[in-house]
Amino acid sequence: MKTAKLVLGIVSIVLFAIITFQSCAAGIGNALSENGEVSGSAGFMLAICMLIAGIVGIATRNKGKGGAFTAGGFYVIGAIVAMANVGSYADLGIWAAVSGIFGIVFILGTILSKNKEE
């Protein structure tokens, strides 16, 4: 599970850059069309949550379960915020699903690995 946490953390940091650029473009599009949507801002919040979760996941992959639950929590919170605000930025739903899956992997992986040790 340590390797999976490292890989998911690195992928999250790379996705941070992609989601940030897409969210900025969506935010500019929302502002120019004056449609009142906040999908660009929600995408940026998701990107920040994924960055934080990726860093926490990498930094605490060899330690106890608290770091993994924290990273999983950031992934899930980012996914919930993003799913609630999908508008004209349709890719946000995809990134939210990816973030939710990463969160589930972190949380369930930690729970299952602790059960094997007992």
- Is residue 13 within 8 A of residue 55, CB to CB? The reply is yes
8-state DSSP, 60: T
Cα separation, 89 vs 24, whole angstroms: 11
Q: How far apart are CA 93 and CA 101, in angstroms?
A: 12
pLDDT at position 90: 85
C-alpha separations of 52 from 36, 62, 63, 85, 93 in Å: 28, 17, 17, 20, 19
pLDDT score of 116: 60
Tally of domains in the chain: 1
Contact 43, 82 (CB under 8 A): yes
Parts of the chain with a pLDDT under 70: 114-118
d(CA 59, CA 74): 14
pLDDT at 88 (0 to 100): 81
- Domain interval for residue 7: 2-117
